């Protein structure tokens, strides 16, 4: 299997109709401090905008944030769109309050499984730190 070239570049944003940005700002600063090129898209970002930015900066990963409980819906079909755009190997992360809060508390393993089935490499709980996300990406890129 061919080793992928690592560019240390990521796209970060909040998907769908979600208007929060604090988590994205924290991720942006943490990834920049770790030496990554970051395309920070802000809030209320459509799927295609993530993909376009990933192509533009030759991103290793797309990090999607969602805090309003609709992440499962907003992320449907995302991996397929990445594949269609030529990004079949891009790493996809999602995190935050990605489903209804009660569902998150009662059934996180099921939420995580559903995101994996949708083609995401990892799903992070809202309590995950930005440093933990950087560490996970380094592991997934083989640069840990």
Would you call 105 a catalytic residue per the annotation? no
Question: Closest Cα partner for 138 from 79, 71, 61?
Answer: 61
- Pick the catalytic residue from 20, 33, 74, 140: 20
Report the alpha-carbon distance of residue 65 to residue 14 in Å, rounded.
Answer: 5
Would you call 89 a catalytic residue per the annotation? no
Quickly list DSSP for 41-95: --SSB-HHHHHHHHHHHT-SEEEEEE-SS-HHHHTTTHHHHHHHTT-TT-EEEEE
Q: Active-site positions?
A: 18, 20
């Amino acid at each position: 299997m061919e080793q992928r070239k690592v560019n240390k570049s990521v796209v970060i944003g909040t998907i769908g109709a979600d208007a929060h940005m604090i988590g994205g700002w924290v991720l942006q600063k943490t990834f920049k401090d770790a030496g990554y090129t970051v395309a920070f898209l802000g809030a209320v970002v459509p799927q295609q905008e993530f993909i376009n930015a990933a192509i533009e900066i030759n991103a290793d990963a797309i990090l999607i944030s969602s805090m309003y409980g609709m992440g499962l819906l907003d992320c449907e079909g995302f991996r397929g769109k990445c594949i269609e755009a030529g990004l079949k190997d891009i790493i996809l992360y999602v995190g935050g309050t990605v489903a209804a809060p009660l569902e998150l508390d009662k059934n996180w393993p099921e939420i995580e499984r559903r995101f994996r089935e949708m083609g995401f490499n990892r799903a992070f709980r809202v309590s995950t730190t930005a440093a933990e996300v950087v560490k996970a990406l380094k592991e997934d890129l083989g640069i840990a």
